[in-house]
Amino acid sequence: MKLIRRLVVIMVLLATIFVGVGLMLPGRIQVERSTVIQAQPAAVFPFVNDFRRFNQWSPWQARDPQTTYAFTGPNEGVGSRMTWQSAQHGDGAQEIVESQPNERVVTALDFGEMGAARAAFRLSPEAGGTRVSWSLDSQLPYHPLARWFGLMLPGWIGADYEQGLARLKTLVEKGAV
């Protein structure tokens, strides 16, 4: 009986520590990756300002070609919207909320019950080309499991962003239209 009581006390203590530490973890995740593409901003901008072209270099499209997409609103720029349904990546939506030609595109992401985020592409002229920075900013719910999960997200998303930027670089530098 003493052994069972000790095990229960230890389990309650561990659960309390897990929840307590989880709630003290950061509630915001930020990820940013960048690369230099040997092309002018005007050659890169159409690929980040048009969701139909986004899928030419998206790391997620390459991983799950069975994903279905729907596009609404204008073909490019503010108000352009893409929704997706994927057995591997879940369902969601992304809408361009800010577009400054050859400089910046900001999108609002909606992952349904998994939350929302903002993503941005910044294009900066750099010697011999354009520095493209892809970033994500998201608030995590005040929930210990979400906060623990949030510790791993930057690594996962960062790897996807690196892969996507490498694909974008190849596409633009080959002169894709």
For residues 69 and 53, is the Cβ–Cβ distance under 8 A? no
SS3 call for 17: helix
Tokens 């230099």: give the residue: 36
For residues 167 and 60, is the Cβ–Cβ distance under 8 A? no
Q: List, in order of start, the domains of the chain with CATH numbers.
A: 2-173 (3.30.530.20)
Other CB atoms within 10 Å distance of the CB of residue 68: 9
SS3 call for 90: strand
Reported as a single tens digit per residue, the pLDDT across 26-43 is 677 889 999 999 999 999
Reported as a single tens digit per residue, the pLDDT across 152-174 is 777 778 899 999 999 999 999 98
- pLDDT value, residue 145: 67
User: Between β-strands 116-126 and 104-110, what pairing exists: parallel, antiparallel or unpaired?
Assistant: antiparallel
| pLDDT surpassing 90 at residue 80 | yes
